[in-house]
């Protein structure tokens, strides 16, 4: 068993090998130790478990559960009793509901493949540096999510015409004076047939790190829109206005210059993800031989489709199209590759730039915002080619 003392040996930002740390715990004083079995996840925080997928995770289209990033604002439920569990649906509805897991599972099952990305992914690259978890590339993963349609549950409850937003609350253990993790999405997105209340991930029952027994998956949107350990749905007349909607997870409505602050009135809640690509290999500082070197990575665009990924090997002076793997599912990333054949030795700056079906593309710098959300600057990896 890992004790609290050696548990703290893991320094934020270090890579944990399976042998070094086969077990991790829920953070928090009252937590129980659990076996996680995560291999080589990058630990960004132990306080509440925040684990980043290593670059090798971009090698598979569906991310294995044990490589899927974990993001917690607080601790998940500790003593969970599936018999006692209820999902309640209230607020602006005709028939408030209290459903058992069995009742939920009697509704028709649906599944989607979705790339889930934390709004803070890439924050560690923001310049100037901003406060928050210093994620680099791997607070993202693609899962096969199965469950029932949120719209089917809402139809059972009967949303009144006054119902405009739908809020979610999980079974998180809320520490001290911290406000609970509650966020809302507009009713149109909630009723979309692809928005699911998920019980299964990659063909297995959800594990506790990803929201057992039930989580929302709001496809194409920032990860925070996909509430884990869901226990309460409320239909509201207006957007929920707690901490995690305001000031949290908001986006400036006007362009800012790097470092600039913004007034709350000049922000709006984050919704869908932006267009983005990352280079997963070669890795920063790699020493390569002349000849064939495959540059590869992933690209995604939330609710939109990736139409093109370009690669530059000269720091952005010239670009060539990468080969995109076939699109297998809406909302899921595309893996891409480029057969690069450097002839001369030297230092190279490899870059990748994605364009989506809306015509959005990545810029040289990310769009500045004080919380460092939706970082999507053109990705760059410096490598060395030697004879
Ligand atoms: N109840 C609850 N749901 C939550 C969170 C949380 O802290 N509590 N974190 C959110 C955030 S910020 C993200 S990015 C995703 C991460 O999902 P994952 O841990 O399954 O990868 O869950 C979201 N859902
Ligand atoms: Mo997140």
DSSP letters spanning 213-272:
T-EEE-TTBBGGGS-SSEEEEEEESS---STTTTTSSEEESS---TT----GGGEEE--B
**Residue with CA nearest ligand 1 atom 20:** 210
Residue 73 has pLDDT above 50, yes or no: yes
In this predicted structure, what is the pLDDT of residue 289?
96
Is the pTM higher than 0.95? The answer reads no
CA distance 135 to 50: 9
Residue 24 has pLDDT above 50, yes or no: no
Contact (Cβ atoms closer than 8 angstroms) between residue 37 and residue 66: yes
**Residue with CA nearest ligand 1 atom 16:** 71
Same domain membership, residue 323 and residue 253: no
Same domain membership, residue 285 and residue 256: no
In this predicted structure, what is the pLDDT of residue 38?
56
Full residue range of the structural domain in which residue 313 is found: 276-385
Same domain membership, residue 242 and residue 343: no
Among candidate residues 227, 251, 269, the one where a domain is terminated: 269
CA distance 232 to 240: 13
In this predicted structure, what is the pLDDT of residue 2?
34
**Residue with CA nearest ligand 1 atom 15:** 223
The count of domains in the chain is 2
Please tell me the number of the ligand nearest to residue 140's CA.
1
Same domain membership, residue 349 and residue 367: yes
**Residue with CA nearest ligand 1 atom 21:** 70
In this predicted structure, what is the pLDDT of residue 34?
41
Atom of ligand 1 nearest to the CA of 169: 1
Please tell me the number of the ligand nearest to residue 201's CA.
1
Ranges 61-70, 77-86, 87-96: which has the least confidence: 77-86
CA distance 370 to 249: 11
Same domain membership, residue 254 and residue 370: no
Q: Helix count (H) and strand count (E) of the chain? A: 4, 27
Pairing of strands 267-269, 250-252: antiparallel
In this predicted structure, what is the pLDDT of residue 26?
45
Q: Which of 67, 71, 143, 216 to mutate to test the pocket of ligand 1 (most atoms within 8 A of CB)?
A: 71
Cis peptide before 282 (omega within 30 of 0): yes
Ligand 2 centroid to Cα of residue 248, in Å, is 11
Atom of ligand 1 nearest to the CA of 210: 20
Residue 7 has pLDDT above 80, yes or no: no
Among candidate residues 236, 269, 302, the one where a domain is terminated: 269
Residue 315 has pLDDT above 60, yes or no: yes
The pLDDT confidence band at residue 37, using thresholds 50, 70 and 90, is low
Contacts with 286 (C-beta within 8 Å, 6 or more apart), sequence order:
381, 383, 384
Contact (Cβ atoms closer than 8 angstroms) between residue 10 and residue 21: yes
Assign residue 352 the CATH number of its domain: 2.60.40.650
Ligand 1 centroid to Cα of residue 116, in Å, is 10
The DSSP code for 159 is: B
The DSSP code for 15 is: E
In this predicted structure, what is the pLDDT of residue 21?
36
The DSSP code for 191 is: H
Ligand 1 centroid to Cα of residue 141, in Å, is 13
Average pLDDT, the chain: 90
Q: How far is CA 344 from CA 87, 123, 189, 288, in A?
A: 62, 34, 51, 11
Q: Which of 72, 76, 175 to mutate to test the pocket of ligand 1 (most atoms within 8 A of CB)?
A: 72
Place of tokens 């990033």: 69
Pairing of strands 334-340, 323-324: antiparallel
What's the token pair of residue 285? 């500082």
Say what percent of the chain tops pLDDT 90.
84
Same domain membership, residue 224 and residue 285: no
Same domain membership, residue 284 and residue 209: no
Same domain membership, residue 85 and residue 37: yes
Same domain membership, residue 110 and residue 259: yes
Same domain membership, residue 212 and residue 81: yes
Q: How far is CA 214 from CA 80, 201, 306, 339, in A?
A: 12, 10, 30, 42
The pLDDT confidence band at residue 80, using thresholds 50, 70 and 90, is confident
**Residue with CA nearest ligand 1 atom 10:** 224
Ligand 1 centroid to Cα of residue 151, in Å, is 21
Q: What is the pLDDT of residues 139-176, one digit of tens each?
A: 999 999 999 999 999 999 999 999 999 999 999 999 88
Contacts with 123 (C-beta within 8 Å, 6 or more apart), sequence order:
130, 132, 133, 134, 135, 371, 372, 373, 375
In this predicted structure, what is the pLDDT of residue 40?
83
Q: Which of 224, 250, 272, 372 to mutate to test the pocket of ligand 1 (most atoms within 8 A of CB)?
A: 224
Atom of ligand 1 nearest to the CA of 171: 1
Ligand 1 pocket residues where CB is under 6 Å: 68-74, 116, 118, 170, 172, 181, 210, 223-224, 226-229
Atom of ligand 1 nearest to the CA of 118: 14
In this predicted structure, what is the pLDDT of residue 176?
87
DSSP letters spanning 304-367:
SPEEEEEEESSTTSS-EEPEEPPP-STTS-EEEEEEE---S-EEEEEEEEEEETT--B--SSPP
Same domain membership, residue 109 and residue 9: yes
Ligand 2 centroid to Cα of residue 148, in Å, is 23
Please tell me the number of the ligand nearest to residue 373's CA.
2
Same domain membership, residue 108 and residue 127: yes
Contact (Cβ atoms closer than 8 angstroms) between residue 198 and residue 216: yes
Quick one: average pLDDT of 296-313?
Answer: 98
Ligand 1 centroid to Cα of residue 224, in Å, is 5
Q: How far is CA 136 from CA 92, 309, 383, in A?
A: 40, 20, 18
**Residue with CA nearest ligand 1 atom 11:** 224
């Amino acid at each position: 068993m890992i004790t609290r003392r050696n548990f703290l040996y893991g320094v934020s930002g270090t890579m944990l090998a399976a042998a070094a740390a086969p077990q991790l715990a829920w953070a928090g004083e009252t937590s129980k130790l659990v076996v996680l079995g995560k291999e080589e996840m990058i630990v960004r925080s132990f306080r509440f478990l925040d684990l980043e997928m290593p670059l090798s995770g971009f090698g598979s289209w569906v991310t294995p559960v044990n490589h899927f990033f974990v993001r917690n604002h607080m601790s998940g439920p500790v003593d969970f009793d599936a018999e006692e569990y209820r999902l309640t649906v209230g607020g602006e509805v005709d028939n408030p509901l209290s459903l058992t897991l069995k009742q939920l599972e009697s509704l028709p099952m649906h599944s989607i493949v979705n790339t889930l990305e934390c709004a803070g992914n890439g924050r560690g690259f923001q310049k100037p540096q901003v406060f928050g978890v210093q994620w680099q590339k791997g607070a993202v993963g693609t899962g096969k999510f199965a469950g029932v349609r949120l719209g089917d549950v809402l139809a059972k409850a009967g949303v009144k015409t006054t119902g405009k937003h739908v809020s979610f609350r999980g079974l998180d253990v809320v520490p001290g004076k911290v406000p609970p993790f509650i966020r809302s999405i507009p009713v149109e997105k909630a009723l979309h047939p692809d928005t699911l209340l998920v019980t299964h991930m990659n063909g297995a029952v959800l594990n506790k790190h990803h929201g057992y027994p039930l989580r929302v998956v709001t496809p194409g949107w920032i990860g925070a829109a996909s509430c884990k350990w869901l226990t309460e749905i409320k239909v509201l007349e207006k957007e929920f206005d707690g901490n995690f909607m305001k000031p949290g997870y908001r986006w400036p409505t006007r362009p800012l210059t790097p470092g600039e602050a913004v007034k709350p009135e000049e922000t709006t809640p984050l919704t869908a993800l932006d267009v983005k690509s990352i280079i997963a290999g070669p890795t920063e500082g790699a020493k390569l031989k002349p000849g064939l070197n495959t540059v590869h990575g992933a690209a995604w665009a939330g609710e939109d489709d990736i139409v093109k990924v370009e690669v530059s090997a000269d720091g952005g002076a010239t670009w060539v199209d990468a080969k995109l793997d076939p699109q297998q599912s809406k909302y899921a990333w595309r893996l891409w590759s480029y057969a690069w054949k450097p002839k001369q030795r030297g230092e190279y700056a490899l870059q990748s730039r994605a364009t989506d079906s809306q015509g959005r593309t990545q810029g040289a710098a990310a769009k500045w915002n004080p919380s460092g959300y939706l970082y999507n600057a053109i990705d760059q990896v410096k490598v060395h080619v030697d004879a």
